[in-house]
């Protein structure tokens, strides 16, 4: 009996042990991210009971993580299911001192965006920054190497304070993380710290303002005060105070299906190196950045019906937006509804007024759940359209459009200067409200385009013939460019007497085309690769039509892809533009100072008028040594790069001599200059002319022209250009004419530029330098031009000219000698 009892006890014990092991195993599986190297006994002294940490006095906010405030400490209760889960950490300025970092840093500016994971290591929780730039399927052997060779940094380490009562979550104290100067999420990057001589964070004046948890995000507001020797404002206080908003948002468990980028259509992008590719190298894949739009009724969508998306794009106006501007801003946002209809969606983008406290007591423009048109009290004259996207797929999650308060001032000024000759309503400092509203609406629409994923398309204005801009019916229907995303702001070509002209830009056919490319839902495609053939077909169907051409803003060489120009012939367009500008210059005092009885607006507008003149000239300069880029696939006919026709380049040089290098006396009206400044008249003109002369005679332009001649001897050459410039700049030497002070300044600038081209030491490894200057034809051409000019001046100095001219020629000869023989 005793033996049976012993056996029975042993059996019970063995079952108990087995049950305990099984229970332990199940618990381990449910907490699969827990470290295998640590046992509860080892951490007994460090990890406390839940009630010891989250006491009955805790104030709890439930959401993505439960957030507890206990005394002055904040705790995150992180569910184990969210460890090793992709999230975005977005740092944004909420409040800041005036002038911090210059005009483009403001409330709402993002300072950092990082993809992170919360990971457990032993008795700690780590924030690890994750990268999606190098990828490989985790089922492939190379995945191990990708991880090993792209090891992510640890941004912060937290002690585990406790486990939740059911062991499904870990509790950490985040107070130190959010109240310390953690560089990874700081609002003061290194260049700002250096500029203002920031010494340290003053912890006694820094604190966590608020922490709020929502179902998919956590928002933390921090107040930081730094000791700084040279702050941007209130210098005697030696203090910079900022308020930061840290948004942490849960990324979708299943990333959006990406869509491939094609450089023939403009999109903001992200790139990944796929090491699991079958190619014999890491395959770089580039995807477009876009919102996720899925039709509510896919079958109706397939039938070609317009269908609302499951989740539309919603923009809220900033509560700070003046009431009189709100209708224009909302209209500007919803102008894109028509473009989305081209992609099969209706009501895809919606504008809303800011919610009241009763409607949404927690609404905040910094909250990453909301996309907001931010209205910024700043003297900066601009607007921007940044966005936040999922780095794994390109899905845009949120965006904030920044509208700076003074931006309309620039539009009023340019409206007057560029259209005032032909547009009576622009000849005033008090532009009619309706026209101001139309400008604001189109600026907002332009910035919304950026937040939808579209970059600038600088070829869109080249799609229209110059003479079409004088046709009222054409401009009313087509505006002034094929897209709102071009920098084509006003119709400066239309002439006095032209009727029914539209002067302000608008959306165009390229916008419909680009939105269709990025947002049309392709139901049959199960992967990005499945879409390729369809996407290519959409592009090739429009190939060759300039309305659908994309031109990069970054181009320095393509005259068909220029900023601020309109029309397909810059010589003709700039001729019209200067004709109008001369009328404006003659009337500028009448439209400004005569009305206001002060010279402030006259001075401001005169300075901007010089900028308009310079832009018109610059559009012509780009044709010299220009290369037209026509991006295409190998299956399409023709080549990608073609030099501008020789005859047109010679025409451009002649135009520049006649309109830029001949002294623009009409810009020097005494009624203007003697009322806005006491001196500097001649140097102002010298500076404008020299800028374009130096641009013409640049290493890059000379290098392109050398290449063009090498490829085809009938092309315009570097020697052709240098000779044509010399003949025009020194035209007085052939006629024994006196040289004015303006022309003397320009001629000295010409010699200085030749000296630069002759002596500047160029690094052949510079990314912008695509040829070795020292071993090219550049020095020999410049030396030849200097000798030609020296001979010309040696003869000219003997002519019957005034003393200023004679001294000038002698000085020029000496300058040339110093370049040719510095010793």
pLDDT at 776: 93
Which one, of 581, 574, 560, lies nearest residue 616 by Cα?
Answer: 574
pLDDT at 500: 98
Kindly indicate the confidence band of residue 22, based on its pLDDT and cuts at 50, 70 and 90.
very low
Enumerate the β-bridge partners of residue 316. 352, 372
pTM for this structure?
A: 0.90
Look up residue 83 and give its two tokens: 């460890």
* Distance spanning both ends of the chain, measured CA to CA: 121
- Tell me which H or E stretch contains 384: strand 383-384
pLDDT at 14: 46
Kindly indicate the confidence band of residue 34, based on its pLDDT and cuts at 50, 70 and 90.
very low
Please say whether the beta carbons of 401 and 451 come within 8 A: yes
Q: What per-residue string of b and e applies to 641-676 under the rule 16 or more CB within 10 Å gives b?
A: eebbeeebbebbbebbeebbbebbeebeeeebbeeb
User: H helices then E strands: how many in the chain?
Assistant: 25, 23
Which one, of 567, 563, 659, lies nearest residue 613 by Cα?
Answer: 659
User: How much of the chain, in percent, has pLDDT values that exceed 70?
Assistant: 94
The CA distance from 125 to 369, in Å, is 26
Please say whether the beta carbons of 224 and 239 come within 8 A: no
Look up residue 652 and give its two tokens: 């451009």
Q: What per-residue string of b and e applies to 767-786 under the rule 16 or more CB within 10 Å gives b?
A: eeeebebeebbbeebbeebb
Q: Which residues contact 144 (CB under 8 A, 6 or more apart)?
A: none
Q: Is 50 exceeded by the pLDDT of residue 493?
A: yes
DSSP 104: T
Please say whether the beta carbons of 263 and 284 come within 8 A: no
pLDDT at 132: 83
230 exposure class (CB count in 10 Å sphere: 0-12, 13-18, 19+) = exposed
Please say whether the beta carbons of 721 and 624 come within 8 A: yes
- Average per-residue pLDDT for the chain: 92
Q: Is the Cα torsion angle 627, 628, 632, 638 positive or negative in sign? A: negative
Q: What per-residue string of b and e applies to 730-750 under the rule 16 or more CB within 10 Å gives b?
A: bebbeeeebbeebbbbbbbbb
pLDDT at 8: 41
**Domains along the chain with CATH numbers:** 50-250 (no CATH), 259-568 (3.40.390.10)
Average pLDDT over residues 47-66: 96
pLDDT digits (tens, 9 = 90+) for 282-331: 788 999 999 999 999 999 999 999 999 999 999 999 999 999 999 999 99
Which one, of 664, 663, 661, 654, lies nearest residue 582 by Cα?
Answer: 664
Distance of CA 473 to the CA centre of its chain: 34
Which one, of 290, 381, 308, lies nearest residue 102 by Cα?
Answer: 381
Average pLDDT over residues 109-118: 94
Pairing of strands 396-404, 371-376: parallel
pLDDT at 765: 62
pLDDT digits (tens, 9 = 90+) for 502-515: 999 999 999 999 99
Please say whether the beta carbons of 313 and 387 come within 8 A: no
pLDDT digits (tens, 9 = 90+) for 142-185: 888 878 888 889 999 999 999 999 999 999 999 999 999 999 99
Tell me the angle at which helices 718-729 and 681-696 cross, rounded to the nearest 10 degrees.
Answer: 160
pLDDT digits (tens, 9 = 90+) for 211-221: 999 999 999 99
Q: Is 80 exceeded by the pLDDT of residue 763?
A: no
Which one, of 514, 176, 521, 245, lies nearest residue 388 by Cα?
Answer: 245
Pairing of strands 269-274, 217-228: unpaired
pLDDT at 21: 40
Please say whether the beta carbons of 469 and 494 come within 8 A: yes
The CA distance from 722 to 422, in Å, is 38
Name the phi and psi angles at 352, rounded to 5.
Answer: -135, 150
Please say whether the beta carbons of 483 and 457 come within 8 A: yes
Q: Is 50 exceeded by the pLDDT of residue 30?
A: no
Q: Is 90 exceeded by the pLDDT of residue 43?
A: no
Which one, of 80, 93, 72, lies nearest residue 211 by Cα?
Answer: 72
Secondary structure class of 31 (helix, strand, coil) = coil
pLDDT digits (tens, 9 = 90+) for 606-628: 999 999 999 999 999 999 999 99
Average pLDDT over residues 776-783: 96
Enumerate the β-bridge partners of residue 376. 404
Name the phi and psi angles at 243, rounded to 5.
Answer: -115, 125
Name the phi and psi angles at 669, rounded to 5.
Answer: -80, 125
Look up residue 546 and give its two tokens: 């300039």
The CA distance from 87 to 115, in Å, is 6
pLDDT digits (tens, 9 = 90+) for 792-813: 999 999 999 999 999 999 999 9
The residue that leads in pLDDT, 36 or 689, is 689
Q: Is 50 exceeded by the pLDDT of residue 640?
A: yes
DSSP string, 604-649: HHHHHHHHHHHHHHHHHHTTTT-EEE----TTSSS-SEEEPPHHHH
Q: Which residues contact 705 (CB under 8 A, 6 or more apart)?
A: 625, 715, 716, 717, 718, 720, 721
pLDDT at 625: 97
Q: Is the Cα torsion angle 734, 740, 745, 748 positive or negative in sign? A: positive
Kindly indicate the confidence band of residue 41, based on its pLDDT and cuts at 50, 70 and 90.
very low
Please say whether the beta carbons of 463 and 486 come within 8 A: no
- Tell me which H or E stretch contains 600: helix 600-621
pLDDT at 78: 98
Q: Which residues contact 485 (CB under 8 A, 6 or more apart)?
A: 266, 446, 449, 450, 454, 455, 456, 457, 460, 510, 511, 514
The residue that leads in pLDDT, 769 or 731, is 731
What is the 3-class SS of 728-744, one letter each residue? HHCCHHHHCCCCCHHHH
Q: What is the largest CA-CA distance in the chain?
A: 142
Q: Which residues contact 51 (CB under 8 A, 6 or more apart)?
A: none
Tell me the angle at which helices 600-621 and 646-656 cross, rounded to the nearest 10 degrees.
Answer: 150
pLDDT digits (tens, 9 = 90+) for 745-761: 999 999 999 999 999 88
pLDDT digits (tens, 9 = 90+) for 433-478: 999 999 999 999 999 999 999 999 999 999 999 999 999 999 999 9
Look up residue 94 and give its two tokens: 């909420």
């Amino acid at each position: 009996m005793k033996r049976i009892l012993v056996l029975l006890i042993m059996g019970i014990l063995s079952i108990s042990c087995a049950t305990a092991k099984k229970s332990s195993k199940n618990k381990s599986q449910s907490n699969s991210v827990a470290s295998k190297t640590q046992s509860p006994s080892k951490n007994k002294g460090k990890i406390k009971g839940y009630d010891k940490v989250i006491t009955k006095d805790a104030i709890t906010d439930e959401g993505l993580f439960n957030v507890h405030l206990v005394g002055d400490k904040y705790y995150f209760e992180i569910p184990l299911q969210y460890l090793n889960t992709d999230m975005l950490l977005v740092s944004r300025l909420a409040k800041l001192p005036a002038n911090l970092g210059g005009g483009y840093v403001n409330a709402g500016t993002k300072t950092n965006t990082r993809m992170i994971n919360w990971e457990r290591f032993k008795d700690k929780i780590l924030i690890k920054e994750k990268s999606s730039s190098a990828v490989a399927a985790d089922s492939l052997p190379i995945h191990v190497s990708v991880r090993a060779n792209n090891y992510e940094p640890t941004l912060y380490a937290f002690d585990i304070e406790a486990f939740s009562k059911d062991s499904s979550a870990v509790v950490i104290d985040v107070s130190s993380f959010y109240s310390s100067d953690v560089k990874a999420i700081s609002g003061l990057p290194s260049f700002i710290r250096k500029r203002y001589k920031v010494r340290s964070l003053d912890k006694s004046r820094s604190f966590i303002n608020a922490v709020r948890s929502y179902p998919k995000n956590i928002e933390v507001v921090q107040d930081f005060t730094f000791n700084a020797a040279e702050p941007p404002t209130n210098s005697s206080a030696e203090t910079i105070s900022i308020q930061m908003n840290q948004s942490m948002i849960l990324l979708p468990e299943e990333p959006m299906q990406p869509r491939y980028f094609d450089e023939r259509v403009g999109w903001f992008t992200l790139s990944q190196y796929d090491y699991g590719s079958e190619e014999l190298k890491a395959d770089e894949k580039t995807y477009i950045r876009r919102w996720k739009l899925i039709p509510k009724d896919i079958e109706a969508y397939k039938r070609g019906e317009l269908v609302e998306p499951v989740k539309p794009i919603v923009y809220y106006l900033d509560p700070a937006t003046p009431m009189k501007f709100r209708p224009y801003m909302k209209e500007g946002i919803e102008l894109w509804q028509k473009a989305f209809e081209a992609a099969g969606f209706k009501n895809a983008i919606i504008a809303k007024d800011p919610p009241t406290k009763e409607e949404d007591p927690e609404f905040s423009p910094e909250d990453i759940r909301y996309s907001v048109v931010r209205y910024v009290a700043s003297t900066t004259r601009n607007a921007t359209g940044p966005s936040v996207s999922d780095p794994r797929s390109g899905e845009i999650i949120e965006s904030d459009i920044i509208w700076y308060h003074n931006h309309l001032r620039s539009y009023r000024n340019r409206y007057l200067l560029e259209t005032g000759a032909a547009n009576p309503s622009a000849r005033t400092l008090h532009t009619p409200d309706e026209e101001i509203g139309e400008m604001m609406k189109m600026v907002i629409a332009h910035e919304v385009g950026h937040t939808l994923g579209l970059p600038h398309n600088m070829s869109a204005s080249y799609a229209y013939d110059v003479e079409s801009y004088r046709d009222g019916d054409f401009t009313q229907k087509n505006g002034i460019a094929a897209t709102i995303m071009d920098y084509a702001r006003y119709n400066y070509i239309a002439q006095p007497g032209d009727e029914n002209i539209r002067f302000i830009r608008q959306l165009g056919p390229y916008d419909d085309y680009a939105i269709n490319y990025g947002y049309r839902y392709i139901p049959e495609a199960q992967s990005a690769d499945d879409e390729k053939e369809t996407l290519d077909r959409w592009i090739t169907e429009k190939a060759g039509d300039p309305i659908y051409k994309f031109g990069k803003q970054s181009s320095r060489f393509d005259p068909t892809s220029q900023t601020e120009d309109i029309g397909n012939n810059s010589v003709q367009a700039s001729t019209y533009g200067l004709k109008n500008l001369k009328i404006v210059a003659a009337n500028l005092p009448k439209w400004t100072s005569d009305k206001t009885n002060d010279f402030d607006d006259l001075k401001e507008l005169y300075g901007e008028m010089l900028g308009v003149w310079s832009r018109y000239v610059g559009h012509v300069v780009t044709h010299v040594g220009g290369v037209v880029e026509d991006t295409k696939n190998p299956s399409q006919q023709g080549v990608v790069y073609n030099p501008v026709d020789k005859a047109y380049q010679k025409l451009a040089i002649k135009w520049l001599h006649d309109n830029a290098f001949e002294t623009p006396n009409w810009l020097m009206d005494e009624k203007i200059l003697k009322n806005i400044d006491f001196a500097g008249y001649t140097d102002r003109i010298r500076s404008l002319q020299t800028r374009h002369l130096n641009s013409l005679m640049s290493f890059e332009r000379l290098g392109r022209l050398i290449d063009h001649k090498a490829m085809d001897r009938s092309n315009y050459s570097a020697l052709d250009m240098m000779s044509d410039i010399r003949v025009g700049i020194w035209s007085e030497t052939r006629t024994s004419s006196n040289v004015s002070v303006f022309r003397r300044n320009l001629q000295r600038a010409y010699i200085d530029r030749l000296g630069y081209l002759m002596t500047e030491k160029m690094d052949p490894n510079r990314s912008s330098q695509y040829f070795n200057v020292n071993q090219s034809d550049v020095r020999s051409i410049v030396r030849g031009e200097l000798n030609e000019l020296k001979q010309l001046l040696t003869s000219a100095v003997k002519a019957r000219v005034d003393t200023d001219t004679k001294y000038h020629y002698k000085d020029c000869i000496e300058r040339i000698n110093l370049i040719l023989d510095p010793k």
